[in-house]
Amino acid sequence: MPPRARQAPTHESQPARSSERCTTLLRLRIATGAVLAVALVAAGCEITVNHDSDTAELPPAATQSNGTEVWDLRHPPTADQIGIDSGSDTAIYETRPSRRLLLRLPEGTRLRLSARYLAFSSIADEDGEPVNVDVKTATKPLGDTVETYRSILKQLGLPTAAIAQFREAARAASGTESVHSDRISGQYGDLDIGVVASYSPHSETGRIAVIGNWQP
């Protein structure tokens, strides 16, 4: 059964935490030129979102297999394949809690991870075709962040020397300024992928971002 859609209202306050354990998929299609305004206020987070769908179906480039969301990114996808509708430039697939992803990348590379956020954008392309993909994990304690960072780098065949430096910088951090690792990148066919780890000493949590750009 596909995950149930959670509608993104035009104007909403930050939702209260729910005890519901099933994964909820939020799909936002943001039209070109639409304004996504986020105002942080003392009472919470107030969000204004333009959207045209509350459905949760996956696009043609994605399938569900044994509880894992599988995305076929072995070749540069079209807007239709990853769910960017006509007149839009962004497709966002976000869940709470995280879900398991498998990204099938060029040259036989596969990346497995648990993530909350997956987005595609065609903003910089005149023809409206996707030019980048952005994946973010949920926030985690430092130890879990480091292990996730290590796993992602190893799966992508990237050097892991930066892990120790990031861990020590995070342990030494204080205050409100976040720590960010250097971008570790690799080329997979037409797809350039970079990995960045970040850590907030204020919340004592970190997360990993995996950002890919298709080269013309």
- Taking only the tens place, the pLDDT of each residue in 61-71 is 999 999 999 99
Domain end among 103, 134, 165: 134
pTM attached to this predicted model: 0.76
Tokens of 74: 């072995």
In a domain, 4, yes or no: no
Is the domain of 150 the same as that of 112?
no
Is the domain of 26 the same as that of 130?
yes
The DSSP 8-state label assigned to residue 156 in this structure reads T
Is the domain of 123 the same as that of 151?
no
Encode pLDDT of 110-159 as tens digits.
999 999 999 999 886 667 677 899 999 999 999 999 999 999 999 999 99
Q: Residue 173, Cβ neighbours under 10 Å: how many?
A: 17
Is the domain of 36 the same as that of 122?
yes
The reported pLDDT for the residue numbered 42 is 30
Residue 207, domain extent: 142-214
Tokens of 16: 């209260």
Report whether pLDDT(46) > 50: no
| pLDDT bracket for residue 56 (50, 70, 90) | low
At CA 96, angle to CA 91 and CA 100, rounded to 5? Answer: 80
Structural domains counted in the chain: 2
| Average pLDDT in the chain | 79
Is the domain of 94 the same as that of 62?
yes
Closest CA to 121 of 75, 76, 157, 88: 88
Is the domain of 60 the same as that of 97?
yes
Is the domain of 57 the same as that of 148?
no
Tokens of 3: 């995950």
Is the domain of 34 the same as that of 125?
yes
Is the domain of 66 the same as that of 129?
yes
Report whether pLDDT(44) > 60: no
